[in-house]
Structure 1
């Protein structure tokens, strides 16, 4: 069964014991509230974690004008970028100011969190976290209950933690050879030790 915005909204409404909707263009309070908040809540949850399904890599477009001070070069933030994770090397220093990326790297590539709008591309664990966050955001308007709001925020935090764990288990990163715990175990000079599970 393919995922859709309406299905995600209905997952949130179901958590609140509210009426389900058939379309975000319905005139019911439930549909109007979901329609008002869905996109912003989606983008917020996308920024909460470096989700594997939302990762994108790009060569950045250098801007002709250099920053006034502090850095040597500036680049355009990709239009669908929600969060810049790192430049080509994790050690590259950078700062994001508005729609510009400032760095000392002359040629820059980046890994970033992309705004994913098609729910079919969402990871199932992300869907549950998104639905829980949406339920928390709309709980007051739909139920008028502060207790329900608190319950939904707790539900969201738990769902987010579970989704982060599931997402992180699907990737591995290079291990830092100067980690003290590696030296203590006599592993820091072992070339076969090159991964760290996130």
Structure 2
């Protein structure tokens, strides 16, 4: 697995910067830029897609006192970067668009909350993965291209390099999305009633 610095060096090479960095704390323009960009862009790429390695499902902690128009109010999960959907505990089946449970993110004095009408709600979300040893190789590749987008202009002043990095980022993200869907298997669709009757 790639380290944070290795991912940054891949990004630097993609914008034709030939001096790799050894750490974020060294005194160089490249290291300074990587230090500034890396954390926020890592979170941005994590939010861009429900990466399987960064997915979690937890039962939500009820806070009581629901907001007007909602039946329940829950605490937003710790280390959550993006809520993907509200789920019924114990239910594995993928919900169709008309089955999805409505929710809204809000705030109170303790931080972010989730408003929904689902009793005993659970939440599927992307969590904040900071340890690069957990990164999927495709994620590391996408992150390196995303870093290259922001590094291109300050390090090379060539807008065509930034455009190229943007195109490659979108392509790498598209490939990663396709690959991620091949690593899971949904439950089979239930048989239609007329098929069960004929059996």
- Determine if the alignment matches structure 1 residue 12 to structure 2 residue 17: no
| 3-state secondary structure, aligned to 1:86 | strand
Which structure carries more relative contact order (alpha carbon 8 Å, separation 6+)?
2
Runs of at least 5 residues in structure 1 that lack an aligned partner in the other structure? 178-186, 192-198
| 3-state secondary structure, aligned to 2:119 | coil
Cross-structure match for 1:52: 52
Decide which of 93, 106, 117 is 2:102's aligned counterpart. 93
- Determine if the alignment matches structure 1 residue 83 to structure 2 residue 82: yes
Cross-structure match for 2:43: 43
- 1:175 offset after TM fit, Å? 6.1
How many corresponding residue pairs? 180
Change (3 A) 1:176 1:49: farther
| 3-state secondary structure, aligned to 1:101 | strand
Alpha-carbon distance between aligned partners in 2 of 1:20 and 1:147, rounded to the nearest angstrom: 22
Change (3 A) 1:145 1:108: same
Alpha-carbon distance between aligned partners in 1 of 2:26 and 2:158, rounded to the nearest angstrom: 23
| 3-state secondary structure, aligned to 1:155 | helix
Runs of at least 5 residues in structure 2 that lack an aligned partner in the other structure? 89-94
- 1:31 offset after TM fit, Å? 0.5
Alpha-carbon distance between aligned partners in 2 of 1:9 and 1:86, rounded to the nearest angstrom: 32
- 1:188 offset after TM fit, Å? 4.6
RMSD value, Cα: 1.7
| 3-state secondary structure, aligned to 1:63 | coil
Cross-structure match for 2:158: 145
